[in-house]
Amino acid sequence: MVKLAKFRALGLSDITLKALEKKGFEEPSKIQERIIPLFLSTDKDIVGQAQTGTGKTAAFGLPLIELLKENSKYVQVLILTPTRELAIQVAEEINSLKGSKRLQIVPIYGGQSIEQQLRRLKSGVDIVVGTPGRVIDHIKRKTLVLKDISNMILDEADEMLNMGFIDDVEEILKSTNSNKRVLLFSATMPDRILRLAEKYMKKYELVKATEEKLTINLTDQIYFEVNMVDKLEALCRIIDIENVFYGLIFCRTKVDVDTLANKLMERGYSAEALHGDISQYQRERILDKFKRRKANILVATDVAARGIDIVELTHVINYSLPQDPESYVHRIGRTGRAGKEGTAITFITPSEYRKLTYIQKLAKSKIRKEKIPEIMDIINSKKLRLKKDILKVIKEGDCSNYSELASEMLVENKPEEVCSALLKHFFQEELEIKNYNKIRETSKNSFIDIKGKTRLFVALGKMDGMSPRRLVDFIKNKVHVDDRKINDVQIFDKFSFINVPFEEAEIILRFFKKDTKGNRPVVVIAKKRKDSR
């Protein structure tokens, strides 16, 4: 574990170091260097300021694993996150870091079966990772008792503020014991967050860790709309059209990684697979092969790629859309380094468009849409490369051994006929249209609205005193969105419809998710109308 000497110096045990080695970590990030020893050696509350994608989860997750007791009879830690995607990711990350230590970690969030969560909580849990709304639900049900927790973590506190969760956070804090330790992490420190720290945290230490930006100007960010069944064909076209491709391709699961790598190898590409089931020996062999460019394609999961240092990648491709903005930023930060230009490409299926806009907003990234290269674009690109390679052989190579054969062939045939026959014989598969699969157009109707709008159903109408102006003012005053972005307002007796851009729709839906009228939410996404085109 020589490579992990810097992690060992932070005070981590051999059990934890083995887990880090298995995951492929090599060096701690700046936030990890600052937080881990402070967490392990003191009992201070901590406020950590660091950008998304800098390794915050491991910064607090590793010390928690070191300090927590096994076989505890009560919940030891509560971690609050603003979104269910982040709750799942944090729980999975800590689970992958715990090694052989017997700790139960469970995510709880809205949209998941409450009965399933009740069973998990009843069976005994050490770390609960949850969203504020669902945590409050369990507190009220008395199925989540927080009077004995040793640590409470507030992750992405500024996002919880932006999404209107801070009052919920305060309510949760009031349900916890006073002698717990509190750690608050936030990319920015608005006044409301600082007031929260002053009110609920003991004398705390502020840790600021500035990392080199992961998303930098040299990374060109693109997305392609593609049907699930056409992803492989689209990927091959992107690889084929490039003069040089040296890339990392991300999939969501181990099975997806193996399947894609095998399909690429079947098509003649030099690809390797990397995921959590790969042994350390195999991992080192694969990474060495990739770093020496004996293979130019590495297909991997997020967990397997975490901590590895590969420079001068030309491409990072999200074959599967990442779970959250932090994963997206971490992935694409691997290209465009050291002054070299790089390209980050994301494939999305029609149903994933809203999730892409959410990632784009929170990651503060501009991701532009492009069309998948046409078959003739690929063929023309290959022709140019072939011509260049042949001219290089003519200029630099010694072709005298082939002169006699060439002369014999030219006795009865024209030069262009001989050259054409050679090209057809050796490159027919690559240079003929019939050998390529077509890619179908994505169905525009399967997007919520291709123009970037979402239609929302509002359970308020004329009987509630609503007019178009009153409904717009009601939403504006509640959620503080720009009323100019609320369009196509239709008021009926008991309900209404509005159209808003994706980003505003996400904000409105989050704000109203706990507001109900009767047994139904006040605002939901409108169902597709039968007469829609």
DSSP 147-207: TT-SEEEE-SHHHHHHTT-HHHHHHHHHTS-TT-EEEEEESS--HHHHHHHHHHSSSEEEE
Does residue 107 register a pLDDT over 90? yes
Q: What proportion of the chain, given as a percentage, has pLDDT over 70?
A: 89
Q: Output the pLDDT for position 530.
A: 40
Higher pLDDT, 484 or 362: 484
The predicted pLDDT at position 443 comes to 54
Q: In CATH, what number does 219-372 get?
A: 3.40.50.300
Residue 111 has pLDDT above 80, yes or no: no
- Please report which confidence band the pLDDT of residue 479 belongs to, taking 50, 70 and 90 as the band edges: confident
Question: How, if at all, do strands 247-250 and 181-186 pair?
Answer: unpaired
CA distance 390 to 202: 72
**Beta strands at 247-250 and 297-300: parallel, antiparallel or unpaired:** parallel
d(CA 360, CA 107): 24
The per-residue pLDDT for 452 is 61
User: For the ranges 174-178, 210-214, 404-408, 476-480, which has the lowest average pLDDT?
Assistant: 210-214
pLDDT (average), residues 124-128: 94
Q: What does the pLDDT read at residue 340? A: 60
Report the alpha-carbon distance of residue 341 to residue 219 in Å, rounded: 6
Higher pLDDT, 160 or 304: 160
The pLDDT assigned to 450 comes to: 37
Least confident of 118-127, 235-244, 300-309, 458-467: 300-309
User: Cα separation of 70 and 90, whole Å?
Assistant: 20
Residue bearing the bigger pLDDT, 212 or 180: 180
Given a cut of 90, whether residue 175 has pLDDT beyond it is: yes
Q: Does domain 448-525 have CATH number 3.40.50.720?
A: no
Does this chain's domain 2-208 share its CATH topology with 219-372? yes
Q: How many CB atoms lie within 10 A of CB 421?
A: 12
State how beta strands 487-491 and 496-501 pair.
antiparallel
Per-residue pLDDT tens digits for 3-38: 678 899 999 998 899 888 877 777 888 889 999 999
Tell me if 49 sits within 8 A of 206, measured CB to CB: yes
Burial letters for 119-153: b for 16+ Cβ neighbours within 10 Å, e otherwise? eebeeebbbbbbbbebbbbbbeeeebebeebbbbb
- Domain extent listing, the chain: 2-208, 219-372, 383-435, 448-525
**Secondary structure of residue 51 in the 3-state scheme:** coil
Whether the pLDDT of residue 324 is over 70: the answer is no
Whether pLDDT at 249 is above 90? yes
Dihedral angle over CA of 377, 379, 380, 385, nearest 10 = 120
0.75 exceeded by the pTM? Answer: no
pLDDT number for residue 150: 96
Distance (Å) of CA 91 to CA 36, 38, 40, 109:
18, 22, 20, 12
The CATH number that domain 2-208 falls under is 3.40.50.300
**pLDDT of residue 529 exceeding 70:** no
The confidence band for 112, taking pLDDT boundaries of 50, 70 and 90, is confident
Which of the listed ranges 71-80, 86-95, 219-228 does the model predict with the highest average pLDDT? Answer: 71-80
**What gap in Å lies between CA 100 and CA 20, rounded to an integer?**
12
Q: Show Cβ contacts of residue 52 under 8 Å, excluding neighbours closer than 6 positions.
A: 156, 187, 325, 326, 329, 362, 363
Average pLDDT, the chain: 84
The alpha-helical segments, DSSP class H, found in 274-324 are 280-291, 302-305
